[in-house]
Each structure stands twice: as structure tokens, then as C-alpha cells.
Amino acid sequence: MKKNLLGLALLGAMSLSQAATAQEYDNRWYISGTAGILFADSDRFGADDSGLYGIGFGKRFMPNFGMELSMDWASPAIYEAYYGGASEEWSLTSIFLDGRYYFNKEGRNWDPYLVGGIGATEHEIAEFDGTEIAFKAGVGIESDRRKRVDFRLEAGWRYDGHEEKFLESTAQGFEIGPFSDYYFSGSLLVKLGDLPVPVVAAATCDTMDSDGDGVNDCNDKCPGSAAGQTIGADGCPVKLTIDLKGVNFDFDKDTLRPDAVVILDEAVAVLAKYPELRVEVAGHTDSKGKDDYNQNLSERRAKTVYDYLTSKGIDASRLVGPNGYGEARPIDTNETDEGRANNRRTELNVQN
């Protein structure tokens, strides 16, 4: 019966360990208080089961290993029939040095473990007493919540090396012992002191991005960038131009050619896809003709593109201009027909 009870206790501890959960371990020294049941070996003159009470002092030295020095007491009652018709208690006082191996896992706050211990048990019963070697082995679960108090459930086997020889009236003696007892217990672990305050690494410029532009403060040459701006590797706004290559104009004309309409429709699609973009509509000419004439022509060409964009649904609030720059900003030589054709252009310059 007692072995069946132990089996149930072990199964209970093992099943709880399956649901166990434990986080980063707590390595403070602790004082433990224990209460449980000692399932006494029936060879102890048919002794009853007994309450088991103890105290301990220990520490987890590594995430997977801890040690504890413990002392416990039990007093199983001996049946009168076994002891001359009188009731007696068999007082057992034990000291153990226990080692526990924890199967801890990251992010959990309960921890299954195996326990093994070596020590000694002192016996007191009538005229028989003595101190003998003792061992223990078992399983359990322990909370690791990094709080002041933790909890433990444990079940296992205890070996008591005590042996006694008794003489009957016939002068024929008999011996009892050593004994195998079983136990199930629960413990409170009171932690001593406080956990160290976690050290937080000081923030440095290479880990900070004060303006949220994706460039760390060490490399950001333009702190305080506005949201929505296109930012380069140095943290400064980058001027972008939507490519309108092909939206060129015949000499001295400001009307759109059929091939230019196709390209402008692609620009409309880009602006529709990114409604936060604001662009400048800018017109340019080649160097042929008088400056004033070219300035006026560039403005008319910019106005032509501006009107086309608004006619396709692009809100005028997103457009800057139209602005004409005449022949002042060439992108190619004005000495060849090809170069002059490239300079006769209209651009959409991104403003954010």
C-alpha cells in the first residue's frame, strides 16, 4: 500500500513537471521550511506513517544545479502488538546534504528536477538509539519566479542504515533493518537579500536615431529630418527627380508629342500610387534663341505638363510651379542636335 502511495506521489510530481515552466534562475541563498508525510517501512515493527517536518539552507549555484543542507524530523508510531503491548514512537532525526539537478528551460517559471542526498539519521526508541548513514533520491518541481518566496513539491525514497538485534525470552535473537522509507513533501523557500538590479547598457550614438530617419546619430549629418523626406546615407534629404526622359519638345514648341503623353501617363501612375509625394514641375530649353524668349518658352512647357497632370486627377496642392528655368540648367551640351534635344525637357523634382 505504501509503495502504491509513493507511486501516486511520484506520478503527481512528474505530471506537474510536464506543465512546469521557469525563467532565468534565482541564485540567492534561501531558508526552506518543509512539511510532508513519511511512509515508514513496515519492517519498523509495523510502524504507522508519520508527519515529516524540516528546515534547510541552500542555494542554486548554476541554472541546472543547487545544493541544500537540511534537517528533518519524523516519529512513526509502533503498533502495541509489536512492542510489548505498549505504544511507542520511533523518533527519527535526519541531516542530509542534497544536490538537485534542474531541467530548466528558458522562459519558464517552474522547474522539474532530480534530487539525491547523503547524510545520517539518529534513532530514539526506548533503550535503542544510535546514528547511522542515510541516503535519499527523488524527483520534484520548484518555482523559479525571481520573487521573495518560491515553492517546491518533492517525492522520493530514503535509505536508513540502522540495524537492531532483539533478544526474545527463548534467547533466540532476530534482527531488523536497514529500512527503506518513502516520502512526499512540500516546501517554502524564503530568499535572502534582493536580486541585483539589471545593468542597462548606456545608449550610444550608433544605437540611437533621434529623428527616426533610419540613420544612426553618429552618421546623421542632418539631424531633425522631417517625416516623409527621402533620406540619403548621411541622414540628409536627397533631391529626387521622377524620370520624364522622353517628354521632350520640338524646337520652339510647347505642345506634347504623342510619345511624351505615354511617359506622362506613367508619371501620373507613380503620383497616384504615392499620394504623399509633392513635386515641382520644371521646364528647360536649349541655348538657341534669346534668354528672355527661352525663359518664356520653358514656362509654357512647364505649364503644359502641369495642366496635363491636373487633368489626370493629380491635385494641384501636390504640385509646385509650374517653374521655367530657360537655358540656365542644361544637362547636356548645346553644341550638338542630340545634346540640345536633351536640354529641351520637363522634370518633376520631388520636394519631400
pLDDT at 156: 97
Q: pLDDT at position 65, please?
A: 94
Q: What is the pLDDT of residue 298?
A: 86
What residue type is assigned to position 282 of the chain?
A
| Cα(263)–Cα(271) distance, integer angstroms | 13
pLDDT in tens, 11-44: 444 443 333 333 467 899 999 999 999 999 988 8
Which of 53-57, 188-192, 227-231 is the least confident region?
227-231
Task: Record the cell numbers describing residue 146, joined without a space.
Answer: 525571481
> Length of the chain, please?
352
Q: What pairs with residue 115 in β-bridges?
A: 100, 138
Look-up of cell digits 541531516: 95
> What is the set of domains in the chain, with CATH numbers?
2-191 (2.40.160.20), 243-350 (3.30.1330.60)
Bridge partners, residue 188, by sequence: 33, 151
Q: What is the largest CA-CA distance in the chain?
A: 144
pLDDT at residue 334 is higher than 80? yes
Looking at the predicted structure, is the pLDDT value of residue 284 above 50? yes
Amino acid at 137: A
What is the structure's pLDDT at 45? 76
Residues 6+ apart with CB under 8 A from 237: 222, 225, 229, 230, 231
CB 299 within 8 A of CB 257: no
Question: Residue 162 corresponds to which cell in the numbers above?
Answer: 540502522
pTM: 0.51
* Residue entry with cell 545634346: 339
Which residue's C-alpha cell is 514641375?
281
CA 250/CA 50 separation, integer angstroms: 109
Quick check: 83 pLDDT over 60? no
φ/ψ of residue 255, rounded to 5: -100, 145
